[in-house]
Amino acid sequence: MNMSCTDDFPRAIVMGVLLISLLFFSFTVRSEGLDVSAKDGLSYESSAGNFAIKLGGRFHYDGSKVFSTADENIEDGWAVRRKYAKLGLSLYKVWRLGLQYDLESETKPYESLWLRYSGFSAFNITLGQMSNEPFSLEESTSSNVVPFMERALPNALTPSNNVGVLLNTSGSGWSTAVGAFWETYIEDSDPFNGDEGRGVTGRFTFLPIDKGDDLLHVGLSASWRWPDDTNRVRFRARPENYVGKKRLISSGRIKNVENYLLTGFESAYVQGPLTLQGEYIRTDLIFIDHAKENEILDGAYFYAGLFLTGEQRSYSRSRGVFGGVEPKGRYGAWELAGRYSYLDLNGDTILGGREENLSLGLNWYANSQMRLMFNIVDVDTDEHAGDVDPLFVQMRLQVAI
């Protein structure tokens, strides 16, 4: 595939970030003694604290069985969902390099590769390929700690990992992040895979309640986006199942889109072992022909989770996201969760289908690095999606360090 200078620009930024960072870090390594630790991954830290390096990764292995469906193209079996290697470098406590490499992918191995400077008192600045733009609570939460095997249906509307420049800051009970992003460096024969055009994206979170085990989180996200030169966009979603390799609803390639606005509203309440969380996300499409009415696509989810063994989900106040769990007992932690989600890809002229899912999950955390997940997902689609209503029974073995 031939690539223009414009296509090479994001790739050049990613590779430039890597080369400059490695050269920069190497000067400090030569003069620093290193202490080695194997806790939460393999890490090395200089005795003076000016240099640190950490190696880690994640491995998600899924199994799935499908029932009650007339669609013979939905697969059963086992598959590697994620197999990542991770590298983190820190220099003088103000420079940080992050790299996450997909060991399974030949076409898009770099999930993220970025350089961050945190020496300013008011904000941090990050440049490079990022794992996600600052949009949505669930999208901003690591796949290692999301309580279900797959993120909810509305996640199909969120922007993903793109090259850009990000500014973020936080204060007492709030956080905010805003950035400019453009096409991912990933080369793909299908321009609709990994190419989301250009966008300006921001997210703001606030804690109206923050009293020990009692926490209320609210947030707002927005992204104003311009498609690439084809002026076409597409939205589609898997039925919260990876192994089946089937997308039941898709907007198709929507033509003549001038720009579009993504907005998201999020809220979560945590009281001890109980978590309640929900989001609403919508897309407003504006067409080149302004005589044509705008189209609206939207989705939402709500879930309730309970740690039967009494643990509480951790929370990062500087980023406005939930983190992992440290089991209290020697036999691990057990979590029960239920979720409703929907995604509506039907508009006045777009008939991509509507899907509603009911999910039940049971998770066992052997420790903070290993988790077994069990999910049942009951799918209901409308006539535009073929009235295909599968039931998935699935499980995951997860190791993350």
Please give the structure tokens belonging to residue 313.
Answer: 């989900």
The pTM (predicted TM-score) of the whole model is 0.87
The pLDDT of residue 39 is above 80: no
Q: What was the pLDDT predicted at 193? A: 47
- The rounded mean pLDDT for the chain is 88
Q: What was the pLDDT predicted at 41? A: 64
Q: For residues 394 and 314, what is the distance between their CA atoms, to the nearest angstrom?
A: 26
> Quick one: pLDDT band at residue 356, thresholds 50, 70, 90?
very high
> Quick one: pLDDT band at residue 76, thresholds 50, 70, 90?
very high
Q: What's the average model confidence in pLDDT over 271-297? A: 93
Using one digit for the tens of pLDDT, what is the confidence trace for 170-213? Answer: 999 999 999 999 865 444 444 444 456 899 999 999 999 999 89
* SS3 annotation, the chain: CCCCHHHHHHHHHHHHHHHHHHHHHHHHHCCCCEEEECCCCEEEEECCCCEEEEEEEEEEEEEEEEECCCCCCCCCEEEEEEEEEEEEEEECCCEEEEEEEECCCCCCCEEEEEEEECCCCCCEEEEEECCCCCCCHHHHCCCCCCCCCCCCHHHHHCCCCCEEEEEEEEECCEEEEEEEEECCCCCCCCCCCCCCCEEEEEEEEEEEEEECCEEEEEEEEEEEEECCCCCCECCEECCCCCCCCCCCEECCCECCEEEEEEEEEEEEEEECCEEEEEEEEEEEEEECCCCCCCEEEEEEEEEEEEECCCCCCCEECCCCEECCCCCCCCCCEEEEEEEEEEEEEECCCCEEEEEEEEEEEEEEECCCCEEEEEEEEEEEECHHHCCCCCEEEEEEEEEEC
Q: For residues 322 and 311, what is the distance between their CA atoms, to the nearest angstrom?
A: 13
Nearest to 117, CA basis, from 107, 126, 108, 109: 126
Q: For residues 45 and 54, what is the distance between their CA atoms, to the nearest angstrom?
A: 9
Q: What was the pLDDT predicted at 17? A: 58
Q: State which fold the 59-86+93-400 domain adopts.
A: Porin (2.40.160)
> Quick one: pLDDT band at residue 109, thresholds 50, 70, 90?
confident
The pLDDT of residue 28 is above 70: no
Q: What was the pLDDT predicted at 106? A: 76
Q: What was the pLDDT predicted at 169? A: 97
Q: For residues 247 and 251, what is the distance between their CA atoms, to the nearest angstrom?
A: 11
Boundaries of every domain in the chain: 59-86+93-400
